Amino acid sequence: MKENYPLLMDRIQSTFIDTLFILLLMFAFANLLDKFETVPDWVRSWISFLTINTNPHKRAIHDLVSGSVMIKA
- pLDDT for the residue 44: 63
Question: pLDDT under 70 in the chain at which residues?
Answer: 44, 73
Would you state the torsion angle of the CA atoms of residues 6, 3, 58, 62, taken in this order, to the nearest 10 degrees? 0
Are the CB atoms for 60 and 48 separated by under 8 Å?
Answer: yes
- pLDDT for the residue 71: 72
- pLDDT for the residue 13: 93
Does this model's pTM top 0.75? My answer is: no
- pLDDT for the residue 16: 92
Residue 21 DSSP symbol: H
H helices present in the chain, as ranges: 8-34, 41-54, 61-66
